[in-house]
Amino acid sequence: MFFHAYGVLMEDRIQEAIREFEAIKERREVSLCTLMALIYAHKKSQNPDRDAIQELDAKLKEHRKSATQKGLYFAGLFLWHLGRNEKAREYTDRMIKISNGAKEGLILKGWIDVTSNKDASVKKAGKYFDEALKEGADVFALMGKAQYFELRQNYSGALETINQIIVSFPEFLPAFIKKMKLLLTLQDWEQTVEAAQRLLQKDKTNIEALRMLALHSLCREGDLNESFNQLTNLFATLDRYEPHNPDLFYQMSLAFTRVCGRNEKILEKTHTLVERAFSMASGDAERATELGYQLVLQGKIKEAMKWYRTAMTLDETSISALTGMIRCQLIEGHLEDAEQQLEFLTEIQQTIGKSGELSYLRAVLAIKKCKPQEEVINLLNDAMDTHFSALQGLPLGVEYFEKLNPDFLLEIIKEYIALCPTQPPSQGQPASPQLKHCASVLETVVKTVPGLIQAVYLMAKVKFQAGDIKAAQSSLQHCLEQNPSHADAHLLMAQIYLLQGNLKLSSQSLELCLSYNFEIREHPLYHLIKAQTQKKTGELQEAIHTLQIAMSLQGMKRTGSSSKSKSKRIEISSTDCVSVFLELAEAHWMNGEQHEAAKVMQDAINEFSGTPEELRVTIANADLALLRGDTELALNMLRNITPEQPYYIQAKEKMADIYLNHRKEKRLYASCYRDLVEKLPSSHTYLLLGDAYMNIQEVEKAIEIYEQALMKNPKDGALASKIGKALVKTHNYAKAINYYEAALKSGQQNFHRYDLAELLLKLRQYEKSERVLQQALNHEPVTDLAALSEDGRYLVLLAKIQNRMENNEQAILSLQRARDVQARVLKRVQLEQPDAVPMQKQLAAEICAEIAKHYTCQRDYEKAIKFYKEALVYCESDNKVDFNQRFKNIYFFEQVMLELARLYLSQDDVEACQHQCAVLLKTDQDNEAATMMMADLMFRKQDYEQAVFHFQQLLERKPDNYPTLSRLIDLLRRAGKLEEVPRFLEMAEKHSSRAKLEPGFNYCKGIYQWYTGEPNDGLRHFNKARKDNEWGQNAIYNMIEICLNPDNDTMGGEVFENLDGDIGNSTEKQESEQLAVRTAEKLLKELKPQTPDGHVQLRIMENYCLMATKQKANVEKALNVFTEIANSEKDHVPALLGMATAYMILKQTPRARNQLKRIAKMNWNAIDADEFEKSWLLLADIYIQSGKYDMAGELLKRCLRHNKSSCKAYEYMGYIMEKEQSYRDAALNYEMAWKYGNQTNPTIGYKLAFNYLKAKRYVDAIDICHKVLDAHPNYPKMRKDILDKARAALRS
């Protein structure tokens, strides 16, 4: 009953409330609070009854003495609702005292403290709630605890408490409302909307939920129509359920007014709402002021002025109403009145407190009165700083949207932009400092209200004027996707295309603009861009005509512009207005109409005389003088511009350009910038002087100037970075390191950590570099987008350093962290910085590809494939990126596709590999690597003609493409077609007379001769390539292999060990082997691996040399190293083969067999192809020794499937057939071994002749005997056992 009456009272139905209070004032529990409420109600009446108040006051004092516990509690609760916290605390303390700490009293005291706006009291509140909750869950206590957490900015703690309430009290709606608001504070819009929808399921008329959905549509989605519909629904609900609540009507309108981007329909709705609030409380000056403000936003200045006057009538001290009147006066051009009022407000500012709006209006007045630019900028800076100071500590929510007031911020941004050059700075020149400030503010606005298209457009404009064209285009694309009829966005896009020289797209943007908004023809800027496009295409007459149309438009009339036309006045900046004049003058000049050009220029001087733009006309005049070749006249004009005037810096830059590019006088070029620093000393002019010194290669002077500039602006990261890079450029690395370290110690230059770490990496100081990055990453978890991006960069560089330190596990962990961070960045950037999405996607792709490379090195091919696929997901082409970036993206995409294809090939997944190659060749027919891989696939499918065709295509285009040729030789060997190699070698020789001197050619010739059984010739050619950077390392590895195994025997094999009789163990052969090992050891010292894989390969080769000595101690030492590598590198085939070979030499055959079986179960891959073949041959050797011919045969067939030229595989097959007395089959296999050994191995010759003899092919046997004996006249047993017997058999 009491709170019902209180609610009626709050709706200003005072008499009705008094009647209800009178009816319950005798009830003991509520008598105290009822008496208080009656006094409050009487005082609130228009004509307060003094006698009644006096009587009630006396009764209150009487009741207070005998008040019960409940009475004191309700009195405290009522006073707290009225906002009288101190009085409420007094009653609550008394209640707690007489009740020995009643739970209700503790909870109320907690709420009083938590809403006291005093930090000391707020800190105490938590303990009262905790004390009360010891007696069990209480919704009022839990809500208080959540409020306490929220005020302490522990939003996750608050959310956890609210979730407890929802679980325990599922019908308590305020908890759902609080959860929705907390989710918004945590910037999780998706869950906020979900919470609002859940709330509406429980209460379909919930005003807070309806407001939240309308704000989401407006702020997040930028869907004005949907937002309007939701607002209509919200206001209808208000009208139905809260028709007498003027405060609610007023409060509900505020946020929408300030974030709607001046949308007419929404402003009309909010205006109606505030009018309704004012009609219910017509004495409220604050609401009258708000009505005036909303009319200003609608462009109804005279009506707004009326409401501001009404507000002043209601409250003569209303500063906000007076400020609104000044704004209207400035808009209408009543500058004197506005100036007087502003002077008054400025004088009393210390009393009323600083106001951002006041500083802004002073800036506008300064602009209109042509005050110095510096004064305007200071006022705008002051406006911005004051405005943002009011937002400190305020969480994201409805109040934040109100106080942020994006509309006001955009007004300030527009004034900043108007003060900056309209065109991007030339290459190497810094952008206007104001643009950086604008970008920072706009990032906040776009991040908070991404649906505000005007903010996105202004961000594009700022990026364009700052020279970040790619980001500007991306923002405009986003802007036009949201609103295709945005005329200004189309015009800016046309300007960008024009700047890029893409005249066709510039014209298309103008046509699109016209198709969406026909009124754009009345905008001079449209004609200016069109004329600039025509001028660049050589259509000078058309350009002149277009500019003349622009000159005739209403927007170009600078004087007497109080147009009475009913049509909306087109706004054009004075900068663009001057551009029309200057472009027309230049077009006339280029068309040979010098007289007309001079006339237009004179018109410009007359039109802009006495304005800041007059100096632009002077600079343009100087340009015309330059066109006539009169540099002295141009310089004289520019010299007349004084430091006090705007465009002085541009004039000096123009003079410097004349001295450098026209007169070639570097000394005078630098002196222009020295003058600038002398006359206008600032960090910006010092930076210009430093850049000038860098341009003329005077780096030491540049560093000195940069350091002076940094003293003026110690927080300028870009400047500090320039100093570091300049020091590096002079190779003064020690000073650069000291500089970076000193900057870091100062605590102001944290962004130098990356530059320092990168420099230390370059100098190979890996541990120090790693320490710098670990310090940078040692911080609490961050949510800020910039900080997340920075962490990602640090982690990628850290992984690079750890990789150089051969700490591969840590490198992968760092990259995995970078990937996680980048995923968070991508999620945020799509909403906060849509222009940066393509670049961030590319970074994510590069991180995934780097992880894949590491897994490839570890031979974990499945994971490598997974991460390469993930990289491809991010590689989707984006038309919003510029050509250069798109080219880089395509190149990266191709590299990832190639790596994936190689991995599929290594996994024996031929179909997947072929698909990857086909996709690549579809986009790039000349892709060498894809063509080579496709050829490899064709070989595997035994489609030799197609395979050779692919290589032939490459080699016909470039016969000296030695990487392709070397790969072709390897594949022809595997196809058993080595006889086709010479023609390709001849093609290379014919193509270049220097071919025989080329290391690549000698390498190719060497591998061909080695493969065809001529190791000595192979060694000679490899030796010619061994000093080359590209071919040397591989040539040396091949030379070592030849030295260690010139006859390509099965190392560790026992089948053929003693077949050579005494030759196999001759002293001469042993000495030859020892000499070969010593040669191999010398060659090992020449190897300089650059990769972790290369270092492992070197260790394996070193230990093969140890094994080749056949000394037990050396073999055991090698075995230990091979075991260590096999344990650290997963499925490392060369290491496992090394272990097996060592075990065989140590006569530990079972252990060798176990390792070889392990290899036999693995998938073949091209990288380890030779090691796979050697391991299968060795395992086959073991099986043959133990009589398991079937198992050996399967392995040998596998060898021949992957290498049809495997001489040793045919030899083993022949041996098996011979043992099985199948002499014809044995002869066929020995024939192949003899063929692919190039008929040079006497042992195979002997075996072939022997099996011919056994197969009764006597003539063939005699023929082979002659060939062997011609090359080896003393080969044992050949003459006696075969030749003589074959001859005898023929005779008989």
Q: What SS3 string covers 288-353?
A: HHHHHHHHHHCCCHHHHHHHHHHHHHHCCCCHHHHHHHHHHHHHHCCHHHHHHHHHHHHHCHHHHC
Residues in the chain: 1292
> d(Cα 760, Cα 741) in Å, to the nearest integer?
11
Number of neighbours of residue 1127 by Cβ within 10 angstroms: 10
Per-residue model confidence (pLDDT) at position 560: 40
Going from the C-alpha of 60 to that of each of 40, 55, 65, 72, 94, the distances in angstroms are 12, 9, 9, 12, 16
According to DSSP, residue 836 is labeled G
Contact 955, 961 (CB under 8 A): yes
The Cα 1261–Cα 526 span in angstroms is 95
**Taking the alpha carbons of 607, 612, 618, 621 in that order, is the dihedral positive or negative?**
negative
C-alpha–C-alpha distance, residues 1290 and 1292, integer Å? 5
Burial class (CB in 10 A: 0-12, 13-18, 19+), 29: middle
How far apart CA 255 and CA 404 sit, in angstroms, is 9
- In terms of Cβ atoms closer than 10 Å to its own Cβ (0-12, 13-18, 19+), residue 1016 is exposed
Distance CA 375, CA 424 (A): 24
8: burial class by Cβ within 10 Å (0-12, 13-18, 19+)? buried
CA dihedral 769, 775, 780, 784 (to 10 degrees): -50
Q: How far is CA 1161 from the centre of its chain?
A: 43
Which of 413, 458, 401, 445 is closest to 257 using CA atoms? 401
Q: Does residue 1265 contact residue 1279 with C-beta atoms inside 8 Å?
A: yes
Distance (Å, rounded) from C-alpha 109 to C-alpha 90? 10
How many Å separate Cα 702 from the centre of its chain?
32
Report CA dihedral (708, 712, 716, 720) to the nearest 10 degrees. Answer: 20
Please give the Cα distance from 300 to 304 (Å, whole number): 6
Residues 6 or more apart whose Cβ sits within 8 Å of residue 809: none
d(CA 180, CA 194): 8
Kindly give the parts of the chain with pLDDT less than 70.
Answer: 350, 426-430, 555, 557-571, 646, 710, 712-721, 724-725, 735, 739-752, 831-835, 876-890, 939-940, 942, 944, 1057-1066
Tokens of 579: 């551009």
Q: What is d(CA 1217, CA 922) in angstroms, rounded to the nearest whole number?
A: 48
> Is the distance from CB of 370 to CB of 644 less than 8 angstroms?
no
What the block records as the tokens of 785 is 């987008």
Of 493, 491, 486, 422, the C-alpha closest to 455 is: 486
* pTM (whole model) above 0.85: no
Burial class (CB in 10 A: 0-12, 13-18, 19+), 916: buried
